[in-house]
């Protein structure tokens, strides 16, 4: 619900917001055209007769008023659309309190050993977003003790698990910081959620807005990045898994590819020295920081698992298929690669844990810089002067799309483009699994739980 409009004779809501904006847009054009036409006629009359009819002058003034009113409505509606806000939300922004329920996939999880981090360092205080848990179907009142923070190391719901129905689902209740809009994706996508992707739909009232489709089982409306910040602040990292079958040329892996979107949400948490400390504390060796170019050959590592942490920029990464054309443009944007695989958008703060054998190709980087190794050495370790690795990392200037690569201690990466291990994929699949996740340690949310036999 946006507001009550006497012109439309009812509420402006998700089903009519698009049509209302089209109406005031065309009303602005109409009143502007009428006003300009009348102004020309009045000016011509004055030139011929030497006087101005007072009635026409009043009409001109009213024409200007209606034009400015409609233009203001168009401007304000677009401003709210770009931010994915309703008029009611705009009026109460900063004063209302909101909560969001986030599904906890496994109620018995322990709190992952992820250091506290926040993306809102400019706030005068740091709110605690976690407000408790609730179980549906309703079985018990809201708990003020997080299930994953039980003092005895077991979930609060675990003791009652036997009494819960099989379809019971646990939700964490998170308080949304004042002024935060969880549904602000980005201006372009926000506008498309109202007007659609077809240009004709932007100007003609022929279809309802895409936001009227509530078929997504996660939420009635798509969430923006702020939800990931909130979940990270509450120590609830989002984990996406991608099982990728082998192809003719690429072994891939029985283990799923892991993607932690925006896990390193604050700038300080993704600084090279902090990521180095995180890798090291979990038994992973930092071996390089690369600045990526517009594209690269698809490749995999047959002797090592890999973790890539995005430090800066954005790009797209294709996993699971080999290039079949030596021309990089055709293998990137044409048909010069195998069928299958997955493509994932990578943004600063994202972390990828890639099993040995899974191919990856980074392309469409944010500024198209040239490919460059930024750390001293050959990419198989950081050759710091006097052995001070953290000092060497602190001297690196990051620009473009950069990632830091880590590997389990004792594993060394090779570079296979496809076909090298054809007929011997089992050898690649047998690379020993690490004991700890490079960023989540022993938590079940990471590879310790998701790569378990």
> Is the pLDDT score of 154 beyond 70?
no
Task: Say if residue 297 is in the same domain as residue 242.
Answer: yes
Asked if residue 390 and residue 275 are part of one domain, the reply reads yes
In this structure, are residues 109 and 445 in contact, taking their beta carbons and an 8 Å threshold? yes
The model carries a pTM of 0.58
Q: Which of 193, 211, 231 is the last residue of a domain?
A: 231
Of the three residues 231, 262, 294, the one that is the final residue of a domain is 231
Q: CA 127, CA 177: separation in Å to the nearest integer?
A: 7
Residue 145 has pLDDT above 60, yes or no: no
**Range with the largest mean pLDDT of 135-149, 290-304, 377-391:** 290-304
Q: Which residue has the higher pLDDT, 338 or 9?
A: 338
Cβ atoms within 10 Å of 61's Cβ, excluding its own: 11
Q: Tell me, yes or no, whether 108 and 7 share the same domain.
A: no
Mean pLDDT throughout 125-153?
53
Residue 112 confidence (pLDDT): 37
pLDDT at position 128: 52
Among 44-58, 155-169, 369-383, the range of highest mean pLDDT: 369-383
Closest Cα partner for 309 from 343, 342, 278?
A: 278
Higher-scoring residue by pLDDT: 35, 131: 35
Cβ atoms of residues 293 and 365 within 8 Å: yes
Confidence of residue 1 (pLDDT cuts 50, 70, 90): low
- The answer to whether residues 71 and 61 belong to one domain is yes
Per-residue pLDDT tens for 79-130? 999 998 888 888 887 777 888 888 876 534 433 333 333 333 333 234 457 6
DSSP 383-401: --GGG-HHHHHHTPPP-SE
What does the pLDDT read at residue 172? 79
Summarize pLDDT for 30-53 with one digit per residue, the tens: 999 998 998 898 888 888 888 888
164 and 78 in a single domain? The answer is no
In angstroms, what CA-CA distances link 279 with 136, 322, 410, 436?
38, 29, 14, 10
Highest-confidence range of 118-132, 236-250, 285-299, 413-427, by mean pLDDT? 285-299
The answer to whether residues 268 and 380 belong to one domain is yes
Q: Is the pLDDT of residue 144 over 50?
A: no
Which residue range(s) make up the domain with 32?
1-92+184-220
pLDDT at 322: 96
With residue 69 as reference, give the H or E element that holds it. Answer: helix 54-83
Both 216 and 227 in one domain: the answer is no
- Does 69 share its domain with 101? no
Q: What is the mean pLDDT of residues 121-145?
A: 54
Based on the number of CB atoms within 10 Å of its own CB, is 434 exposed (0-12), middle (13-18) or buried (19 or more)? buried
Mean pLDDT across the chain, nearest whole number? 83
261-284 mean pLDDT: 88
Asked whether the beta carbons of 317 and 344 are under 8 A apart, the reply is yes
Instruction: Say how far apart CA 369 and CA 116 lie, in whole Å.
Output: 33
Of 8, 13, 15, 10, the residue nearest 208 (C-alpha): 15
Q: Please count the residues of the chain.
A: 453
Domain count, the chain: 3
Q: Cβ contacts of residue 6 below 8 Å, gap of 6+?
A: none
The predicted pLDDT at position 396 comes to 92
- Are 217 and 210 in contact, with CB atoms under 8 Å apart? no
Closest CA to 140 of 104, 170, 107: 170
Residue 160 has pLDDT above 60, yes or no: no
12 with 123, same domain: the answer is no
How many other CB atoms are found less than 10 A from the CB of residue 9? 7
Given a cut of 80, is residue 67 above it in pLDDT?
yes
Beta-carbon contacts of 387 under 8 Å, excluding residues fewer than 6 positions away, are none
State pLDDT tens for residues 222-267: 888 788 777 766 666 778 999 999 999 999 999 999 999 988 877 7
Across the beta sheet with 314-319, what order do the strands follow? 342-347, 314-319, 360-363
Same domain, 83 and 102: no
Say whether both 364 and 252 belong to one domain.
yes
* Domain CATH for 344: 2.60.120.10
More reliable by pLDDT, 48 or 147: 48
Whether 325 and 358 share a structural domain? yes
pLDDT greater at residue 119 or residue 377: 377
pLDDT higher than threshold 60 for residue 390? yes
């Amino acid at each position: 619900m946006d507001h009550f409009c006497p012109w439309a004779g009812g509420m402006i809501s998700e089903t009519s917001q698009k049509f209302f904006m089209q109406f005031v847009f065309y009303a602005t054009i109409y009143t502007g055209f009428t006003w300009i036409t009348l102004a020309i006629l009045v000016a011509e009359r004055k030139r011929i007769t030497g006087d101005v009819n007072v009635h026409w002058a009043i009409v001109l003034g009213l024409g200007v008023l209606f034009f400015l009113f409609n233009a203001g409505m168009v401007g304000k509606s677009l401003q709210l659309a770009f931010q994915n806000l309703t008029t009611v939300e705009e009026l109460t922004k900063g004063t209302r309190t909101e909560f969001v329920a986030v599904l906890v996939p496994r109620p018995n999880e322990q709190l992952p050993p992820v250091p506290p981090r926040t993306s809102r360092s400019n706030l005068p205080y740091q709110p605690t977003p976690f407000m408790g848990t609730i179980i549906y179907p309703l079985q018990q009142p809201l708990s003020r003790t997080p299930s994953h923070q039980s003092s005895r190391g077991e979930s609060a719901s675990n003791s009652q698990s036997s009494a819960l129905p099989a379809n019971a689902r646990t939700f964490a209740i998170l308080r949304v910081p004042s002024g935060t809009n969880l549904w602000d994706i980005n201006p372009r996508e926000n506008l498309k959620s109202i007007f659609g992707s077809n240009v004709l739909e932007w100007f003609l009232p022929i279809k309802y807005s895409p936001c009227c489709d509530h078929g997504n089982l996660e939420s009635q409306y798509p969430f923006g990045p702020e939800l990931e910040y909130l979940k990270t602040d509450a120590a609830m990292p989002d984990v996406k898994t991608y099982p990728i079958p082998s192809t003719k040329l690429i072994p891939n892996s029985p283990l799923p590819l892991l993607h932690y979107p925006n896990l390193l949400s604050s700038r300080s948490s993704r600084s090279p020295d902090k990521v180095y400390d995180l890798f090291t504390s979990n038994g992973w060796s930092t071996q390089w920081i690369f600045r990526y170019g517009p594209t690269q050959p698809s490749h995999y590592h047959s002797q090592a698992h890999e973790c890539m942490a995005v430090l800066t920029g954005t790009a797209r990464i294709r996993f699971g298929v080999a290039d079949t054309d030596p021309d990089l443009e055709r293998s990137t944007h044409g048909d010069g690669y195998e069928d299958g695989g997955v493509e994932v958008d990578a943004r600063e703060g994202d972390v990828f844990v890639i099993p040995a054998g899974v191919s990856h190709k980074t392309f469409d980087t944010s500024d198209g810089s040239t490919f460059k190794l930024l750390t001293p050495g050959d990419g198989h370790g950081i050759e710091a002067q006097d052995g001070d690795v953290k000092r060497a990392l602190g001297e690196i200037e990051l620009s473009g799309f950069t990632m830091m690569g880590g590997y389990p201690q004792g594993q060394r990466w090779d570079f296979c483009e496809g076909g090298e291990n054809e007929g011997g994929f089992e050898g690649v699949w047998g690379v020993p699994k690490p004991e700890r996740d490079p960023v989540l340690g022993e938590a079940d949310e990471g590879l310790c739980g998701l790569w378990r036999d």
